Amino acid sequence: MSDDAERFRAITLDDLTMPGGWSVSSGQVHLYTPAEQRLMHEARAFAHREILPRAAEADRRVAAIKAGHEPGPERRRLLREVARAYLKLIGEAGLTGALFPEAYGGNGRGVVAECIVDEELAAAGHPGDVIRSVSLTLGTISVLRFGTEAQKRRHIPPRLAGEELSGIGITEPQIGSDTSRMQTRAVLHGDRWVINGQKRFITGGGLADYLTLFAITDTATHPHKGMSAFIVPMDHPGVTISRQLDEVIMADWMDNAWIEFHDVDVPRDSLLGPLHGGHRVLMDELDTERVTYCASSLGGARRALEVAAEYSTKRVQFKQPIASFEGVSFKLAEMYAWLDAARQLTYRTAKMIEAGAPAQRESAVTKLFVADAVWKIVDHAMQVLGGVGYTTDFPVQAIFRNARLMRIGAGSDEIMKFLIARELLREIKG
């Protein structure tokens, strides 16, 4: 290339060797067992080889489906195909089963292994990955922990194989953080539950075959003592997607639905867990959800750091690679430090949950800290990339938008602080 051509050549993502070319995570050697390290390398190699090359194509496919189809059944059918193909791919590679025993089609490796896989898959940035974590963690972990044997055998194997998708229905138009005000009701008539209400912001709601749905079953007591969980088929008469929400965050991802339930009557055995025990089901699910959400977000943040670090060694301004300016290299150092600390917390809490220890406060601490760290890492990455970071030529803008959601979804920053303070004050008061 002539000097002139070189001067005007912009660096593209293809000029960077990441991810997988080098790793910012050498400290992980001391954090993981040898088996966990092997899993990490396998998952990273798979993500690099099989997912990364498909991710951009899948992004384009999702965008084309959304551009070519109004919200409705056809659009949902096509998006469902993208999500299922992704889940099938990773399911065949044995990457969907860490949280589930072999009896239900999993590999039972545990919560730490799940977090390792979450981080590696999320780093590859496939649009189906959000559906993976919603379907397999949020929607299915409570089936494993609280379901009957029949429910587990019926729902878990097809979900791990990508043949059945699930979502989770907690949030309503009138209630978000305060689940004690839940309006959705389920009433037992003979041997059928009749459900009425609305759920809003349901990730993958339009793609899901089943929803793990929370509803009030006893209005005479405190809602936390009168809430139950159900497994509800989404093709049931009375279930309607009243709006497909295209959020700013995850706009190029899959699907977010506002769902109405009008006299949806499901069999008695659709109840998931104990009658009126739904709050326990929800709290148990949330601890695991929060820590796996942290692991996925670490994956995005790590990729942002990898992209920014390598870009900074290639981008020349004032006749030097920008990495030679402390204003840039110190940002990289901070990003690394935040990532490292966030990782330690995530895996500490994952180990607690795996060991069956109560971890509500630790999950809240982890989610609060990791959400802040990830947000700052990705903000720095955007700054290091300058203008190109803001374009869709680089993945940082998408990671940036997803990172912002982490401070709201699965319990906002403020709710995490509320949970931590409540436990702290309880202890102080004895």
Ligand X SMILES: Cc1cc2nc3c(=O)[nH]c(=O)nc-3n(C[C@H](O)[C@H](O)[C@H](O)COP(=O)(O)OP(=O)(O)OC[C@H]3O[C@@H](n4cnc5c(N)ncnc54)[C@H](O)[C@@H]3O)c2cc1C
Residues forming contacts to ligand X in the complex (CB under 6 A) are 134, 167-171, 176-177, 201-203, 247, 249-250, 256, 405, 408-409, 411-412, 414-415, 418
- Please, which residue, 193 or 214, has the CB nearer to ligand X? 214
Q: How far is the CB of 191 from ligand X (least distance, A)?
A: 28
Residue nearest to ligand X (CB): 176
- Smallest distance, ligand X to C-beta of residue 85, A: 21
258 or 347: CB nearest ligand X: 258
Cβ nearer to ligand X, comparing 25 with 297: 297
Measured from the CB atom, the residue of 82 and 384 that comes closer to ligand X is 82
Closest approach, Cβ 141 to ligand X, in A, equals 13
Cβ proximity to ligand X: between 25 and 217 the closer is: 217
State the nearest-atom distance from the C-beta of 353 to ligand X, in Å: 20
In the complex, what is the shortest distance from the CB of residue 142 to ligand X, in angstroms, rounded to a whole number?
13
Minimum distance of ligand X from residue 414's CB (angstroms): 3
Nearest to 402 by CA among 298, 297, 322: 297
Nearer to ligand X among residue 130 and residue 335 (C-beta): 130
